[in-house]
Structure formats: structure tokens, C-alpha cells
Structure 1
């Protein structure tokens, strides 16, 4: 393994963010925690903290918890795991009933901002300053965990998305990674002509197809308008939006997606890639680990940056973090900070580097089992835009998911989809007055 210093801050746009870990100091046991947290370890009252995380990508967590509890015998950690969409729902339900855990995993952008804006998360601004997070985490990841000038979470992952494909499929068809949007579309038809489903996308939940929609928006709208659409500073009833939805309709009609993809689970669509029955899937820096978990070799796959024909050519990026309950008692908050910094420390990242994902930490080892991590992070060198379901308010993002499906099912025209989005934005903005 070679040591690699991740310095994306200077190259990712500040306006962007927003599926590894970050933090602490560079030792397995964080020694820069607050004094009261240290007192918890040395004879204080027993503290139990609850943590909600995803059930995939965290296979290493039980061992890390055991190590932490051995070093910190007065702190115990209770972990509950959820699938992606269920954890979003469980957190919202818990927020409304005031039963949030002491600490939880979430995403940057509008997903994490909900809890910060409603006073549910601990303000970590002073902790970040005291513990010198700017020297530990990528600044972009910190920025994507910050709302209204307050640091709201401990950065875990900084993720970049790309278009993955089985090498065998491309070699058999004599294809190379496309350099232009026209080449990309030509390859979709070539794949289809050879009885290979071009795009392994499942639209159940909406977010999988959204990753393609946002790339089409970047292509047709360009970076400036795309950012204004996401910040709700431009009308979605725009020709560029209509063109993007038009491509979803066109690709559906041409059979570029799996049969019945509007209701297909993304994991089912993903299986087509392993079978080499599909040509391309849009996944991120975590996907090497996903491939291994499913019993395949990541070296049998490769990845390219979506050719959006823009200069600079931006990648889709997002961050993930741990938030801490603002209402939980101080001892639990201090223990949660210590545990979060421990999980995101360089020593922990390096110990589990093959399974950890794409860390938000500045310094860590690159594993031979994650051969696509560096190329993906490098692909964001020209900048990035925040992934749509973190950039948009959640009710507007849900309307985007609905619009995608209605276009695919021929219930809405692309123009009606653009109009529907614009109405949803207007309704959302009227509620904020």
C-alpha cells in the first residue's frame, strides 16, 4: 500500500458538498478528546451511546467497536443498522417523536441539514476548532457538514461518482471509455445491438436513476444553470430540463434500461453488471468494496467520468457524516465525539482500508483491493456538483423521483415533468416565507 494524501479542497467547488471515514487525530485511540471525555474513561460513570448506521459498508464496525470499548471501558456503544431508504425514514420518524439516537449516520446537503436546521444536532464548531479538524479532514467534507456557519457533523466519507463497466464487455465489443457525450450515446446503442442492457439502473427509490438525470442536466444546462436549479434560483421549467427528461424518455423507449426499471430495486439492476448482462452502472468510490462483497474482483471492472462536454467537467460528489443529538446528556455527547473521531482516525481507516470506503480524512493508505478509489477522486480534480438528492430540499427531490418515473411510464411528457418540478419548487419556496 502506498501513502497518499488527499487534497481535494482546492479543486472541488465550494458550493458543492454534497455512501470511508474521517477524523480524530492519527492514532487509533483519539487523545484530543475533551477533558470530560477522558474522565469518562478514567473512573467516571458508565456511558452508553446509541448509533444508527447503514447495514452495508460497515462490516468492519463490530470489531472497531470492540477495540474502542476495550480502550474506553466506561463507554459502551449500541449499534443499530438500516438499509439506505429505511434509515432516512427511521430518522425522520425519530425526529418527530424526539427519540433520535445519541449519534447517527447521515448524508450532507439537505438530508443532514434537516436535523441541524431544526436544532436537533450538537454544534461541533468549537470541537472542530479545538481538535484541529482542518488538519485531519478534507475541508470540502467539513464544509458539507456545516450549516449556517455551524459544524453539524463529524465527516466520514467523501464520495465521487463515475460510470462503471465490466472490462470483458467493453473488450469484446472493442469499446473504450467515451470522451464525449456523442460517444457515450453511440456506445449505448452498440451495447443494445449486442443484446446487452446498456444501463443497469433501478428506479425504485428514485436515487439510482437520479444519478443519470443529474448528469444529463449538467450536460444540457451547464454548470452555472445546473447549480442555480439545485439552489432553486432558476426556473425548472427550462429547455435544458426538458431536454434532460427527454433523454430519460428516449433511453426508456430504446430499451437502454432493464425491463420494468421504474420499480426495479437498484441491487437487482446491479446484479446485471456482475453477470455481464449490462454494460454501465453509475456508482461511486464505495463500489470496489461492493464488488468484493458480492464475490467478484474489482480489477475485472473499470470506471470512466461521465462525458458531459462541459469545461470544466465536473463530477457528482457528496459527503457523509456522524451527527450527534443536541438533546442527549453532555456525557453521552462527549463520548459520541470521542467515538466518532476514533472511527474516522487514520489508524482505524488504515486497519480497515479494504472495506472502509472513501475516507474524508486527509491521510490514509490506498489498498490494492480499491483500485478505482484514486482515479475517481482524481476525476473530481476539475470540480464537482453536489449530488441532487442532497442539493435539493427533500420534498423537491421526491418530486424529481416522481417526474422521472412518470416520464418513463409515459404518464408525463418531458415538458410536463419540467413544469411539475417548477410547481414543486414554487410550493416549497412559498412555505419558507
Structure 2
């Protein structure tokens, strides 16, 4: 890999480029941009886990608390062997803009542990999770910093987090974490809220740019929680899912993929690549295959200056965080392909977390249908704001339009508090 390729693949570098573009539009000074780009606190911790062979496994974890101008930090925790400090900081910055755009009372936070969770036993995974909270508990709380699930973490890990937090802090604070099991103050809608939101925003965008969602051919990269629920809801809306993939590869069938069969194949074989019909493809091939709507819903920087010119989709909706680089954004803009940004498209998860958090604060009074309505209404409002700004700016893309709305809100809060 060349130096240029390494720099272009750094998610933090990409987010800084995007922020500075917005800064030019808003007329922000360099010192203001520096304040926006710099996280308020980054905590690095060493996590040690005894293994069955008597040796000690050592892992590194981070929590980035990017900006609290609008409220307590909010963002997920990911377990992945390639996690870096820069990535965690970049993701916490994305969370700041996402929470601002959705008008949630939060700042941005994110955490990650550099670990392959598949290499750990269930006992080791629990010890890792509990020890992470032991190291971080002083910086967490429902009015301070509220973690949630992200890549390779789920409601069980949030349950371990909460239990350990209560033990070490002495505070029975159910709102300190979201994405919890229902029995511990979670809400059932949180499990599928991210996929529901991606599907709903895709439908709204298709109505603006493609004359509706009915019959549109959709390709989804990533078939975990987000991708599978996105496929489910889009199928119910009348879209045709023609391609999906996971870490092992993908499958394309322009006659349409059967969602229930996909789920069964994934469950029984471990990968959608074993779907009996269609053409087997790599993830790289999937991203540049013919379709109406492409939803990259796996990891960051998968669409870059090298493959962006080959993308054949008419509309891109970012299911993952940061799947397009700044260079890819520019290429899509030049090609006239709208890109609905991650800070809106996948915000159903954090809006679901907000509903859960508020429900914990109020004493468990929200029903599932009411929660779904709150999530979709909040996302529709944000989409309308972004689209209105897009039309007003005239020469900018959807991401820039959304970020102008979000960054301006954070800037105004920081000015009001005397922070810039």
C-alpha cells in the first residue's frame, strides 16, 4: 500500500476533510474548526483477560468523547481486530454530527477494543467486557456518557456492561447504557431500529430521486443486524433485493433474492454466499454491480477514488459509518449520483437509543408502536431539513447539506456556552 493509499483510507483524515468543506460554507475560522475537530477526551485502557491455558491475554481499548456542547456523549462500542484510536475518534466525531442533525440531546462518543471476539470463549468475552467497564466507569453515566452496541457487540454485552457498572459505581443507573435486553430496561424496537431507519430513509430518498421505492433493485453490502433488517423492511415496502453480502462474499440474482431463504442460509451455513440461486461475487464486485440503490452497510472506506468511478447505482444510502471517502463523495457528486449520508441514513439506532434512554429516565412508559413512531418521525424531520438545505445551497451534495445543518447547531451551542 502506498503512503497516499494509507492516508486516503484513514477515517479520521476523511472526516477532517469533510468538516473543513463544511467550515468553508459556514465561514468558520481555523481556530473554530480546530476546536470542532479535536475530541474533548480520549481514554486508552489496557484490558487483561486470563485464558484457559493459564496465560494472560492483553488488549487495548479506547473511548473517544468528542463533543458535549449539546449534551452527554453518546455512541457505540465495537469489538474488532482492526480498531485504531484514529478510527474511534473519527467515529465519535460522526456521532456528534449525527446526534446534532437528529436534534438529540447528546454529544458524540465512540469506543472500540482491538480484539477478534470470535477468538474468545464466552467466558473470556464476558471478562473482557466487564474489565473494560471497570477501567471506564468513572467516565460513564446517563448524564455523562452513554455507550451502546456497535460492530460485534449486542444486548448481552450491554447487560454485562450494566451489571459491572452497577457493581463498581454503586449506581443503579439503567440509562447509562442503551441497546440492553428488555428485562434490563431495553426496548424491543432498538434491536431493529437501525435497519428500520435505513429502509425508511431509503424510501424517502427514492421518492425524491427515483420516482419511488416500488420495484427498485437494491444491493446491500453487509448482512448482519443492520443489513438483514434493512432487507426485510425494504422488501416489505416493495423493493427488490437483488444482491447481498457478508464478510465471506456475496450473491446476486436479478430475479430477486428471497429474504426468508437468505436468513435461513445465513443461519445454517454462516454466510449468504451459500444461497443456492444467483451468481457468487466478492464484496468488491458487489459494490460495482448494476442496481438502482446501493446500501454499503458493513465497514468504512469501502467506496473510494479507485472504485467510485465504476459504481453503477443511481442512488447510494450509507448504512455503515463512513463507507465513502471524501474523494468518492466528490466523484459521486460529479457523476450526479446522490449519496444519503451515514449521519442520517443509519441514525435509527441512536434515535432508538434515545427513546430507550428517555424511557429509562421516565420509568418505562413507552410502548413499541409509540417508540417506532417517534423514531420515524424524528428521522423524517431530519431528512426534510437536509433536503431543504440541499435545495437552498444548490451546488452541494446531500452529505454537505446534512453536515451544514449539524455542524451549525453544534457551533451555535459552543458559542452560547463560550467554548469558541
* TM superposition score category, shorter chain reference: 0.3 to 0.5
The structure with the largest alpha-carbon Rg is 1
More helix as a share of residues? 2
Q: When the two structures are superposed, what TM-score results if normalisation uses the length of structure 2?
A: 0.32
Q: When the two structures are superposed, what TM-score results if normalisation uses the length of structure 1?
A: 0.31
Indicate the structure whose relative CO is greater, using CA pairs within 8 Å and at least 6 residues apart.
Answer: 1
